[in-house]
Structure 1
Amino acid sequence: MSEKLIDIFLMPGDYFVGDGQYRVRTLLGSCVSITLWHPALRIGAMSHFLLPGHGRRKHDRPADKPGMYGADAMQLMMDGMAQHGVPLAQCQGKIFGGGAMFPRSAKVRDIGMQNGDYARSMLQEHGIHVVSESLFGEGHRQLIFTIRNGEVLSRQVPPEPAWSKEEA
Structure 2
Amino acid sequence: MTFQIDIFLQPGEVYFGDRDTRIRTLLGSCVAVTWWHPGKKVGGMCHYLLPQRAKSNLRDLKNLDGRYAEEAFLLAMHYIHATGTLPADYQVKMFGGGQVLITETGKVQAVGERNIEFAKKWLADHGFRVSSEHLAGNGHRHIVFDVATGDVWVRFSPQH
Unaligned runs of 5+ in 2: none
Moved more, 31-40 or 78-87: 78-87
Q: Per the alignment, in what secondary structure is the counterpart of residue 118 of structure 2? A: helix
AA aligned to 1:50 is L
Unaligned runs of 5+ in 1: 162-168
Distance 1:55 1:47 in 2: 20
For 2:128, the equivalent position in structure 1 comes to 128
AA aligned to 1:53 is Q
1:1-46 alpha-carbon deviations (Å, 9 max, x no partner): x553410011000010111110000000000011111111111010
Distance 2:117 2:108 in 1: 14
AA aligned to 2:33 is I
Mapped pair 1:23 → 2:11? no
Query: Could you say if the C-alpha distance between residues 34 and 51 of structure 1 is closer, same or farther in structure 2, counting changes exceeding 3 Å?
Result: same
Rg larger in structure:
1
Contact 1:45 1:81 in 2 (8 A): no
Mapped pair 1:50 → 2:52? no
Contact 1:12 1:65 in 2 (8 A): no
Q: TM-score, normalised by structure 2?
A: 0.87
Query: Could you say if the C-alpha distance between residues 27 and 7 of structure 1 is closer, same or farther in structure 2, counting changes exceeding 3 Å?
Result: same
Q: Per the alignment, in what secondary structure is the counterpart of residue 88 of structure 2? A: helix
Contact 2:64 2:75 in 1 (8 A): no
AA aligned to 2:47 is H
Aligned pairs, number: 154
Deviation, structure 1 residue 65:
8.2
1:107-162 alpha-carbon deviations (Å, 9 max, x no partner): 97700000011111111111111110010001110000000000010111112x5x
Contact 1:13 1:65 in 2 (8 A): no
Distance 1:12 1:5 in 2: 22
Deviation, structure 1 residue 64:
9.8
Q: Per the alignment, in what secondary structure is the counterpart of residue 134 of structure 2? A: strand
Q: TM-score, normalised by structure 1?
A: 0.83
Q: CA RMSD in A?
A: 2.4
Contact 1:52 1:118 in 2 (8 A): yes
Q: Per the alignment, in what secondary structure is the counterpart of residue 48 of structure 1? A: strand
Q: Report the identity percentage.
A: 41
Deviation, structure 1 residue 66:
2.3
Contact 2:99 2:109 in 1 (8 A): no
Distance 1:24 1:4 in 2: 10
